[in-house]
Amino acid sequence: MLGLFIPCYVRELYFDVAKSSYLVLNRLGYNVEIPKNQTCCGQPFVNSGEETNLPKRMAEVFSKYDEVVGIGSSCVSFTKSQNHLKNIYELTEFLYKDNHFDLAKNYNKKVAFHHSCHSIRHLNLKTPSELNIPFEDKVSKVLGIELNLASRDECCGFGGVYSVKEGYLSYAMGREKLDDLLSTNPDVISGVDMSCLMHLKGIAEKDGDVVEFKHISEIILECLDETL
């Protein structure tokens, strides 16, 4: 049995992404359950220097599951770091671990992909440039398509609490990242973290950039529904 962890912002703002993530796992044959009593993982409080028992409570909520899949690398990597819940994986990380490859090989749109900080440096979904070692991109293998990447794997500027406390800097970083991604002339901008995509999409809408944004689960589901 898999438990599906839906971060707060996904549950409140992007429930379609939660639905597509659930359906991807379901289409691939997993028995998935969404515990109704799940709460915030506690990351915003810890990052602000506040004490909270939310990480421990989350571990208790998901303790009955063999494995847990979370939507987004930020909350997943934070939860792992709290040492309460070790059997949790980001969706793409989980699919790669279980050898699900080429899931979107027939996708016919050009995709610019934003690899978020936590997905690269905490979950190792892509080789960070600073390591200067042979490149590997696990996301590309799961999708089975060539991804257009930004020239530099830097932060998009969201950072959760950071975007609230340092709004101008957050915007400037996001604008630079968005320009980098748009320079590849994509049809779609995607990523594993809806938080980063929310930030970039907000800047695009504010500044009048016309481009489609899709979470990786939405791309995979669209392709699975065409082949099943």
pTM of the model as a whole? 0.94
Sheet holding 212-215, edge to edge: 148-149, 111-114, 188-191, 212-215
Q: What's phi and psi for 188, nearest 5 deg?
A: -140, 140
The predicted-structure confidence for 12-56, as pLDDT tens digits, reads as follows: 999 999 999 999 999 999 999 999 999 899 888 888 888 899 999
Q: Which helix (H) or strand (E) is 226 found in, with range? A: helix 216-227
Q: At what angle do helices 194-207 and 167-182 cross, to 10 degrees?
A: 90
Q: Please, which residues have CB within 8 angstroms of residue 212's CB and are 6 or more apart in sequence?
A: 109, 187, 188, 189
The predicted-structure confidence for 105-159, as pLDDT tens digits, reads as follows: 999 999 999 999 999 999 999 999 889 888 899 999 999 999 999 998 999 999 8
Per-residue confidence (pLDDT) for residue 47, from 0 to 100: 81
Which position has the token pair 């949790």? Answer: 88
Mean pLDDT of 82-111: 95
Q: Is the pLDDT of residue 175 over 70?
A: yes
- Please tell me the distance from the alpha carbon of residue 54 to that of residue 34, in angstroms, as a whole number: 18
Average pLDDT, the chain: 94
Amino acid 228: pLDDT: 61
